[in-house]
Structure 1
């Protein structure tokens, strides 16, 4: 174990210097959600690829409906129907003078037509006055009455989605570094991309330790508690963008823990343990991993450190196995574990993803409290808080105890008290890390 007292910044810098982005791979579009693009995606086809109707109605020439009104409607001959998926009028027909084509939403504008008049502006081809519903339009038999009355004029391009009005060939669809979310998947599919080159989502394995831990749903015996850390940290890893895997709590046995971690390396880009990193007699993580860097695994090893922070003083970081998989050992107290995850593990996951910005956003907010907050000298303290964006204030939630998980569940921010500050008066502007 290192005898040096590490600062929060130095420990994080050491982690981010050691953790490298995952190698890019080509993934099918359906598998790329949550991944980060490593190259620009350029549009190859226009969107929309052809002029099409944004309404159910009639495709017309502008001159034929100029001056149309309910008193003096334009009466046009209906040539036929154009539905989505058709390539214009049957036989390549052209809308000529005095003619129209009944058209459905998304259908290509037929040749000769310049605009679309919505069905509500017509009699729907029934000869019975203005149509009041789309249903009247759709239910009218093809070529009903052979003509349609139009009661309003239309300008060129009215209710027409022009080809390329969304994107054009050569446009940048998505830039390298973009996260592929649902809208991005939709865009990629719309421009015909079946695969994309991305950095895969990191695989994070979470292992909690402690003979006192019991799985939720089981009965507690004397001296036992439920394993909350592995669930919380697995969820946090997933929230950060990773594929996360939870391993059931491992008892306080060094050989069992080491074997468990080694078994997990086949599916891990990052291993996170919680518990067993302090100075107690049963600090199994330290015992199991302090000598992991040996002749069979050159360059690997875990360094257990003391950090100038509260909560989260004991930390471990290094790599394990022939592939030098990063391993981060966090404290076992629930708040300590979660705060440590937010400060150190989440940025590491984001670095593995290849993202430029790996940190949570921070703001300055006025502390709202009835009395001054105390903080230990020489340590950076992270208090849980509730942030109000409208007022620009933050309220402490719960106390400073590292076991207060109920307060953590109500918090949406971390209030940062610097190392050289031992008291923070009400109204003081402080740094706040936003968690949601």
Structure 2
């Protein structure tokens, strides 16, 4: 492992991420799951379609199927057959005739166009005329126009979404091969912390990091081992680390990772595995730890709640995605105009929080949160985006454009 403990400069987020991901490989094991249970799972392999979709030419709406070459030749058509969705359309459509047809029903042989029923007028003799004529081929879904047989439906490494499950079901796939869920153990440390719902002694605060990180881990599809709040005592921490290492692929702690701090987490990691303490060029969240235990990887987050969330979101999430075999998508960065000035000192990339909105004039604007403290979870709860302020940049005046990164499903 590359050691950066004594590096005199702050490490950029990009460099830290490159080190984190340098030797990561996803598990080669896989498991088969029912598509109905596959939401949020990562596909192990490409999925190929066993059929064309749609499987046959069919009507895109309720109306009348006819031969396109008959349009303009005659005004009235005899209704020679009726076809419902699910019916077999085997009868050849004769010239000058049409078929009453429902949405999704197979187009009869010889027909290639559907006139919507809103443009049709029938008479008692079983004939129909049209007030508006379509173009040849209108309102017909062609066989295989969405997916051909043997096409790649979804690529391996994709985290499945609800629409993906419907797509798989639509081509008859009932089971898929996915990567196993990553097991992540979470340990919160800090003698000043108390469990919510218990009396709060003077000088203490309620522990909140587990309440933000565990839902984020679950949204990533991880199996979470909640080790709870562990006191800053050597034997207690050693026991917690050993148990976490035995149960998890990744162990995450919050608190006690400030560079130079004489904390027991570092002592235990030095005993059981290895640890690097980094000073990141990121605000909030400068302290960050990374290492290994006998059977798992280790990540140590700062204790301040916003710092923990930002470093988790920007560094640990990509690590988890790599360990799960997920193909990471590029983050969508937009430009927005500042409602008010923002203060910043050069030296660290600043992930300030704010509310992005569209003005009445249609302009994308951002309203920075009034306060940006690393302990203030209101700055995340009341925001929908990061303001990405470059490492070497300084303060920005109102009405200037800044880069914004919209919160994703883990933060919203």
Using the size of structure 2 for normalisation, the TM-score is 0.78
Tell me which residue corresponds to 1:302: 275
Measure how far apart 1:426 and its partner are: 3.1
Q: Secondary structure at the match of 2:20?
A: helix
Tell me which residue corresponds to 2:24: 19
Tell me which residue corresponds to 1:317: 290
The total of aligned residue pairs comes to: 394
Tell me which residue corresponds to 1:116: 114
Tell me how far apart the structure 1 counterparts of residues 252 and 406 of structure 2 sit (CA, whole Å): 22
Tell me how far apart the structure 2 counterparts of residues 154 and 309 of structure 1 sit (CA, whole Å): 60
Matches within 5 A, 1:32-431: 32-62=38-68, 66-67=72-73, 69=75, 73-74=76-77, 76-79=78-81, 81-88=82-89, 92-97=90-95, 99-123=97-121, 127=124, 147-152=126-131, 156-239=136-219, 242-244=222-224, 246-265=226-245, 268-278=248-258, 283-293=263-273, 301-307=274-280, 309-321=282-294, 323=295, 325-357=296-328, 360-362=331-333, 369-370=340-341, 373-374=344-345, 379-386=347-354, 388=356, 396-399=368-371, 401-411=373-383, 412-418=385-391, 423-424=394-395, 426=397
- Structure 1 residues 68 and 220, CA gap change in structure 2 (3 angstroms): farther
Tell me how far apart the structure 2 counterparts of residues 265 and 189 of structure 1 sit (CA, whole Å): 38
8 Å CA contact 1:351–1:358 kept in 2: the answer is no
- Structure 1 residues 260 and 124, CA gap change in structure 2 (3 angstroms): farther
Q: CA RMSD in A?
A: 3.7
- Structure 1 residues 120 and 397, CA gap change in structure 2 (3 angstroms): closer
Tell me how far apart the structure 2 counterparts of residues 54 and 347 of structure 1 sit (CA, whole Å): 42
8 Å CA contact 1:385–1:397 kept in 2: the answer is yes
Tell me how far apart the structure 1 counterparts of residues 170 and 269 of structure 2 sit (CA, whole Å): 50
Q: Secondary structure at the match of 2:272?
A: coil
Measure how far apart 1:274 and its partner are: 0.4
Tell me which residue corresponds to 1:141: none
Q: Gaps (5+ residues) in structure 2?
A: none
8 Å CA contact 2:282–2:351 kept in 1: the answer is no
Q: Secondary structure at the match of 1:232?
A: helix
Q: Secondary structure at the match of 2:317?
A: helix
- Structure 1 residues 170 and 408, CA gap change in structure 2 (3 angstroms): closer
Using the size of structure 1 for normalisation, the TM-score is 0.75
> Which of the pair has more CA radius of gyration?
1
Deviations 1:261-287 (A, max 9, x none): 443446533221101234667x44334
Deviations 1:299-336 (A, max 9, x none): xx333444455543332211223x3x111011111122
Q: Gaps (5+ residues) in structure 1?
A: 128-144, 294-300
Moved more, 241-250 or 47-56: 241-250
8 Å CA contact 1:27–1:196 kept in 2: the answer is yes
Measure how far apart 1:358 and its partner are: 6.5
8 Å CA contact 1:52–1:162 kept in 2: the answer is yes
8 Å CA contact 2:79–2:100 kept in 1: the answer is no
8 Å CA contact 2:58–2:106 kept in 1: the answer is yes
